[in-house]
């Protein structure tokens, strides 16, 4: 039995991270907060007994997506210089 407090706490953290990702001024920070939200989401998936989804979320949702965002930022910054 998982303490329901634990998953609700993590959900609150994801909520907070997404709010920061949306509200923060710097785009780079926003990407990092989004990535954090993704990692925390995959932790919740582990808590909710969905290991397959947790693995996919960590590898694709948090990992690969973050790479894509950072590359996009890099290319846009490179142009502006």
Partner 1 sequence: MGHDWLSLWSYLYGPLAIFLVGLYGLLTQKNLIKMAISINIMDFGVNLFIISLGYVPSGEAPIYTEAVRRYLPSFTDPLPQALVLTAIVISVAVTAFVLALIIKIHGRYGTTDLTKLGEMEL
Partner 2 sequence: MKKVIALLLFLGLLFFIGTGLEQGLKLGEHNTLSGKAGEIYLKRTVNSEDPATTPSRVGFGRETDIEENAANTVTSIVVGYRSFDTLGEVTVLFLAATGVLALFFTPGKRKRLALAKPNFILSVSSGFLLPLIILFGAYVFTHGHLTPGGGFQGGTIIAAAVLLLYMAGNAYKAPAAGLKILEGLSGAGYLLIGLAGLLLTGFFLENFLPQGKMGALFSAGIIPVVYLLIGLKVSAELSGIVSDYMGEE
Q: Which residues would be at the binding site for partner 1 (CB under 8 A)?
A: 1-2, 4-5, 7-8, 11-12, 14-15, 18-19, 21-22, 27, 30-31, 34, 37-38, 41, 44-45, 48-53, 56-57, 60-61, 64-65, 68-69, 71-73, 75-76, 79
CB of 7 to partner 2, least distance (A): 10
* Euclidean distance between CA atoms 17 and 20, whole angstroms: 5
Burial class from Cβ neighbours inside 10 Å (0-12, 13-18, 19+) for residue 74 reads exposed
Q: Which of residues 29-58 bind partner 2 (CB under 8 A)?
A: 50-56
Q: Is 6 in the site for partner 2 (CB under 8 A)?
A: no
C-alpha 67: how far from chain center: 12
Nearest-CA neighbor of 20 among 40, 4, 6, 1? 40
Q: Is 4 in the site for partner 2 (CB under 8 A)?
A: yes
């Amino acid at each position: 039995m998982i303490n329901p407090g634990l998953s609700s706490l993590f959900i609150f953290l994801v909520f907070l991270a997404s709010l920061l990702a949306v509200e923060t001024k710097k785009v780079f920070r926003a990407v990092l907060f989004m990535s954090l939200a993704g990692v925390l989401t995959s932790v919740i998936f582990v808590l909710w007994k969905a290991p397959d989804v947790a693995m996919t979320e960590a590898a694709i949702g948090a990992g690969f997506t973050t790479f894509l965002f950072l590359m996009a930022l890099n290319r846009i910054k490179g142009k502006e210089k």
